[in-house]
Amino acid sequence: WYGREKECEDYSAGEPYTCYIPRDLALFTPYEIWVEASNQLGTATSDVIYLDILDV
């Protein structure tokens, strides 16, 4: 499997510009986290961080 399962949504209960790890997180599933930003000057993408959920 490859692709985006679900992007961060606009959570009204949380802080601005934040995401959270959901309660229904599947163990033994590789997770990748990165940031994408764009403005009038262009776009940028951070390096990908691979998250081992057992370390969280």
In tens, the pLDDT along 1-56 reads: 445 555 555 555 556 666 666 677 666 777 788 889 999 999 999 999 988 767 76
Q: In a 3-state reduction of DSSP, which class is residue 31?
A: strand
Quote the number of domains for the chain. 1
What average pLDDT does the structure give for the chain?
73
Does the residue 39 lie in any domain?
yes
Question: Which residue range is the domain that position 51 belongs to?
Answer: 25-56
Strand-pairing partners, residue 39, are 42
The encoded tokens of residue 15 equal 């802080």
pLDDT for residue 45: 93
Does the residue 32 lie in any domain?
yes
Does the residue 35 lie in any domain?
yes
Does the residue 2 lie in any domain?
no
Share of the chain above pLDDT 70, in %: 46
Q: Is the pTM above the cut of 0.85?
A: no
- 27-36 pLDDT, tens digit per residue, is 677 778 888 9
Does the residue 30 lie in any domain?
yes
DSSP state of 53: G
51 burial (CB, 10 Å; 0-12 / 13-18 / 19+) is middle
